[in-house]
Amino acid sequence: MAPGNRAVNVRLMERDAALEAVFQPVRAPTTFEETVERLGTAIRLGLLAPGSRLPSERELAAELRISRSTLREAITTLTQSGHLTAQRGRGGGTFVVSDPPLADHDPDPLGQGAWSVLEHRVAIEAGVVLLASERADDSDFDRLDDLVDRMADAADFEDYRRADIRFHIALAECARSPRLVSEMTEVQGAMSDLIGLIAHPHQVLTHSNEQHRSLVQLLRRGDATRAVGLMREHIEGTEHILGGLLPRTAS
């Protein structure tokens, strides 16, 4: 039986407090990533049941108070990761897949070990960006731009991730601190273990690399304050994506 014939429309469901929280307005500046997390977590916990149909794009964007283009990016991400499916024609729409990645109602899919890695990353990356803004030169920035271009042209996730790791280590090299290079290498290794647990939708990689490019531009201008803020948004976005797409608690 087609999903459109058996699914319950979320708009028509009686929403309990937990489900109602899914449709609260999303906050800036990580609207794309938080929308992915919000919907992905609701699917993982079964708040959005297998086979259920999401509200229309117009209705859902209005409820979340985000642009329809941002919502489309989030839905595309969750479709590529195997959480949602699109059905065309009469009775069509966007549906939760019949067998989504589920968990035993765990409100925190990351777990303490993962949060320790993410907190370590915040400390190292923010400090690196601050020092890089003071110590890097044009040749450093050119190298970072080349790595951004490599990520944009990557043939697959493995190519992208290799350039991504090299980008963050190159940032540490810009800080002129061998110890920070060592710490960054450790952080990126731990992040690879976490990132390896989830799907890698094109939309997520593109959005992340746009932040990389903006970061280099801010560093070229010596705008340390905004560069550190952007790096914090970049890491927070990763936290949201992991929280939304992880199928089980990370050890």
Q: Same structural domain for residues 118 and 241?
A: yes
**Is 86 in the same domain as 143?**
no
Q: Is residue 217, in this structure, part of any structural domain at all? A: yes
Q: Specify whether 219 is located in the same domain as 116.
A: yes
pLDDT of residue 107: 53
Per-residue pLDDT of the chain (251 residues; tens, 9 = 90+): 444 444 455 554 455 666 777 788 887 778 999 999 999 988 988 889 999 999 999 999 999 999 999 999 999 999 999 999 998 877 789 999 998 876 544 555 566 788 899 999 999 999 999 999 999 999 999 999 999 999 999 999 999 999 999 999 999 999 999 999 999 999 999 999 999 888 899 999 999 999 999 999 999 999 999 999 999 999 999 999 998 887 644 44
pLDDT score for 1? 41
- Give the CATH number for residue 138: 1.20.120.530
Query: Is residue 179 exposed (0-12), middle (13-18) or buried (19+ Cβ within 10 Å)?
Result: exposed
Looking at residue 101, its pLDDT comes to: 74
Q: Give yes or no: residues 183 and 137 share one domain.
A: yes
The answer on 92 and 115 residing in a single domain is no
Domain count, the chain: 2
CB 164 within 8 A of CB 220: no
Domain boundary among 62, 96, 130: 96
Spatial neighbors of 68 by CB under 8 A, at least 6 apart, are 57, 58, 61
| 236 lies in some domain | yes
Structure tokens given for 226: 């905004």
Residues 134, 163 share a domain: yes
60 lies in some domain: yes
Look at residue 78 and tell me if it is in a domain.
Answer: yes
Domain co-membership, 123 together with 89: no
Q: Helix, strand, coil shares of the chain as percentages rounded to 5?
A: 65, 5, 30
Give me the domain span that covers residue 226.
111-245
**Confidence (pLDDT) at 25:** 87
8 Å CB contact between 52 and 14 = no
**Per-residue pLDDT at 211:** 98
Is residue 145 domain-shared with residue 192, that is, in the same domain? yes
Cβ proximity of 45 and 246 under 8 Å:
no
pTM of the predicted structure, to 2 decimals: 0.83
Given this model, what pLDDT does residue 114 score? 86
In a domain, 101, yes or no: no
State residue 94's pLDDT score.
95
* Domain assignment present for 188: yes
Q: Is residue 67 part of a domain?
A: yes
The phi, psi pair for 156, rounded to 5°, reads -155, 180
State how far the Cα of 120 lies from the Cα of 243, in Å rounded to an integer: 17
Look up residue 169 and give its two tokens: 């280590």
Are 132 and 239 in the same domain?
yes
The per-residue pLDDT for 184 is 97
